[in-house]
Amino acid sequence: MGESPDIFGEEPREPDAAEMPGLGLDEPAQPQRADTAQPYRVLARKYRPRTFAELIGQEAMVRTLGNAIKRDRLAHAFLMTGVRGVGKTSTARLIAKALNCIGPDGQGGPTIEPCGVCEPCVAIAEGRHIDVIEMDAASHTSVNDVREIIEAVRYAAVSARYKIYIIDEVHMLSNSAFNALLKTLEEPPAHVKFLFATTEADKLPVTVLSRCQRFDLRRIATPALSAHFAHICSLEQVPAEDEALSMIAVAAEGSVRDGLSILDQAIAHADLGGDGMVTAEKVRDMLGLADKTAQRRLFAALLAGEGRELLDLIEQQYALGVEPLALMRAQMNLVHRITIAQLGQSGADARSSEEREAIEGWAKGLSAGQLHRLWQLVLKGHDEVRFAPDPLAAAQMALLRVMHAADLPDPGGLARKLQEIAANASPPAVTHVSPGAGVPAASIDWEQLVSRVEDSQPLIGGTMRNWVRPVEVTNGTLLFQLVPGLTEDPARDMADALDRLTGERWRVERSVGEAQPSLRERKESEERAGQAALLANPLVKAAFAAFPDAELIDEERAERSSPPWSRRA
């Protein structure tokens, strides 16, 4: 029996027969003909929720909406957001039922539990209610499409309590269409409700968002999805392993519709085997996933540094149809699960005791730093495999790199050790100006004297620090030699500076004999000796053996020599 499309050109949805026993959650009533077999309906359509109780994973939204209906505090516009397949359009249809349900006796009002048997509930489920208009904004984007709505809202509902407009993928409307809708959306007639659904709420104008009551539909948790699929398999009388359903739930990534599509495919794939049972092995083969046991063997070989075994395992998985990218993703997933287990969640999602014991063992044996480094290395390898011209070779090289890096010293721990060694290392003894060896007993500390000159006359003080080798320093006398390279004699300038500093007359002359190194030479000598002692440490030698291209950098010196705008805060 043919049906005409609605005013927006939408094809009518198949009817929903809530009363027919033995059908799915949203099985439509169809005329039975003796000569025609009933056409197959995919699971995603067959088990579309008929009530809010069947809408899994959205309890908070249902509770909020129920309270609003109970207290008669209904918004004039609702916005359902979320990723694909979590039930946005289904929720919009359920709200339409809830607002227009009149109960089996025809005397009921809005309810969070629509009866499903009254004329409005049946007509809305079958997509033929004249007062519930659905529009796909992806194919009706222009202002003219919205103008039809604006004209129609002035008229009261024909038979329902509310005239309801369901606009799917509302973010696809043009800017002019949104602008045309704003006034009506803000002040609609009391008999009109707008229900919007979108996967990209960030693309909606703020002026539209502010006029809607927003419900963010969550991704469905993997355990909830797995339980839902098990229930559907029991209704379909299809035997299925728990591990297989869990794998499908993980692959669905929180989307009920995606998961049911994969389950449909898995059931068809299982029929090829003859027994019709959905097994983990068949699902793994269908999706090209790595066997979890093989994942763990691969990870163990990686940690043990067994390169030959690692390559053999990769080849075996590739021969079984596992894509290299899926192989890398499986290793990332394993590292993530071990890290989570290390924080106390003890591999609770493991499907076998063997898997749980392996994950918990690695969680105890590996440090947090090692796990984070493994994650970064495998993640980098995953990106390389994705864009490599030869994914298999890229996966082999990436995992070999991870294997060789697995037993390297932790950079953070190594850095701390080096800092401790540097802090505890005793610098070599340096001879300072002191009595004896031609220096009079009434000597003055040369470094303190230079520092005082630098405070008052930085240029002369700098010359004394960098270029002057003291021979004799006593009260009123400075005999010195110069470091080779200074062309001018600073004696007069140093004498004037010392005279002003001390208030006494100083005799400053160049001399011969044994001289002490300049203060700059002394500091450089101390640094060389300290660095030599540091490089001689066994731990540092091991670090350079592990990182041949490494350099020993003085952070303070690097900080001083860098431009001000490049220094760290």
CATH of the domain at 257: 1.10.8.60
67 to each of 61, 62, 64, 495, how far by Cα in Å?
10, 9, 5, 92
Domain, as residue range, for 383: 292-406
For residues 179 and 64, state if they share a domain.
yes
List CB contacts of 300: < 8 A, sequence separation 6 or more. none
- The CATH number of residue 197's host domain is 3.40.50.300
For 222-279, how does the pLDDT look when each residue is reduced to its tens digit (9 = 90+)? 888 999 999 999 998 889 988 889 888 888 888 899 899 999 888 888 776 567 788 8
pLDDT recorded at residue 287: 78
From CA 191, how far away is CA 183, in angstroms rounded? 16
DSSP 227-251: HHHHHHHHHHT--B-HHHHHHHHHH
Residue 201 falls within a domain, yes or no?
yes
Residue 70 falls within a domain, yes or no?
yes
From CA 509, how far away is CA 126, in angstroms rounded? 111
| Least confident stretch, 44-48, 388-392, 544-548 | 544-548
pLDDT category of residue 430 using cuts at 50, 70 and 90:
very low
Would you say 86 and 79 are in contact if contact means Cβ atoms under 8 Å apart? no
For residues 69 and 159, state if they share a domain.
yes
Would you say 214 and 185 are in contact if contact means Cβ atoms under 8 Å apart? no
Extract the tokens encoding 567.
């220094």
Distance in angstroms between the alpha carbons of the first and the last residue of the chain: 75
pLDDT recorded at residue 513: 80
Residue 553 falls within a domain, yes or no?
no
For 446-486, how does the pLDDT look when each residue is reduced to its tens digit (9 = 90+)? 888 999 999 989 999 999 999 999 998 888 889 999 999 88
What's the domain count of the chain? 4
pLDDT recorded at residue 407: 60
pLDDT category of residue 196 using cuts at 50, 70 and 90:
very high
Domain end, chosen from 344, 372, 406, is at: 406
From CA 32, how far away is CA 39, in angstroms rounded? 11
Residue 371 falls within a domain, yes or no?
yes
Residue 172 falls within a domain, yes or no?
yes
From CA 411, how far away is CA 503, in angstroms rounded? 56
Given a cut of 70, whether residue 436 has pLDDT beyond it is: no
> Which residue type is seen at 523?
K
Report CA dihedral (235, 238, 244, 249) to the nearest 10 degrees.
-30
Q: At what angle do helices 324-340 and 307-319 cross, to 10 degrees?
A: 120
Residue 340 falls within a domain, yes or no?
yes
| Least confident stretch, 163-177, 183-197, 338-352, 506-520 | 338-352
For residues 206 and 242, state if they share a domain.
no
From CA 226, how far away is CA 234, in angstroms rounded? 12
Extract the tokens encoding 327.
């192989």
Given a cut of 80, whether residue 212 has pLDDT beyond it is: yes
From CA 561, how far away is CA 293, in angstroms rounded? 54
For residues 78 and 155, state if they share a domain.
yes
Q: Which long-range contacts (CB under 8 A, 24 or more apart) does 392-397 make?
A: 392/314, 392/318, 392/324, 394/324, 395/314, 395/324, 395/325, 395/327, 395/328, 396/311, 396/314
Residue 67 falls within a domain, yes or no?
yes
For residues 65 and 161, state if they share a domain.
yes
pLDDT recorded at residue 18: 39
- The CATH number of residue 506's host domain is 3.30.300
For 265-319, how does the pLDDT look when each residue is reduced to its tens digit (9 = 90+)? 888 887 765 677 888 888 887 876 666 788 889 999 998 888 999 999 999 888 8
For residues 266 and 401, state if they share a domain.
no
Given a cut of 80, whether residue 8 has pLDDT beyond it is: no
Tallying the residues shown for the chain, one arrives at 569
Q: Is pLDDT larger for residue 550 or for residue 383?
A: 383
pLDDT recorded at residue 399: 93
pLDDT recorded at residue 275: 72
For residues 47 and 191, state if they share a domain.
yes
Mean pLDDT to the nearest integer, 88-93: 90
For residues 186 and 47, state if they share a domain.
yes
For residues 235 and 374, state if they share a domain.
no
Instruction: Provide the percentage of residues in the chain whose pLDDT is more than 90.
Output: 24
Residue 306 falls within a domain, yes or no?
yes
Mean pLDDT to the nearest integer, 192-196: 93
For residues 155 and 67, state if they share a domain.
yes
Edge-first strand listing for the sheet containing 192-198? 132-136, 163-168, 192-198, 77-81, 213-216
pLDDT recorded at residue 56: 86
Mean pLDDT to the nearest integer, 128-136: 90
Extract the tokens encoding 115.
């009866």
pLDDT category of residue 57 using cuts at 50, 70 and 90:
confident
Would you say 82 and 236 are in contact if contact means Cβ atoms under 8 Å apart? no
Q: Which long-range contacts (CB under 8 A, 24 or more apart) does 426-432 make?
A: 426/533, 427/526, 427/529, 427/530, 427/533, 428/525, 428/526, 428/529, 428/530, 428/533, 430/522, 430/525, 430/526, 431/516, 432/516
For residues 187 and 58, state if they share a domain.
yes
- Average pLDDT taken over every residue of the chain: 81
Mean pLDDT to the nearest integer, 550-556: 69
pLDDT category of residue 167 using cuts at 50, 70 and 90:
very high
Mean pLDDT to the nearest integer, 175-195: 89
Phi, psi of 116 (to 5 degrees): 80, 0
Domain end, chosen from 268, 287, 306, is at: 287
For residues 259 and 359, state if they share a domain.
no
Domain end, chosen from 181, 216, 251, is at: 216
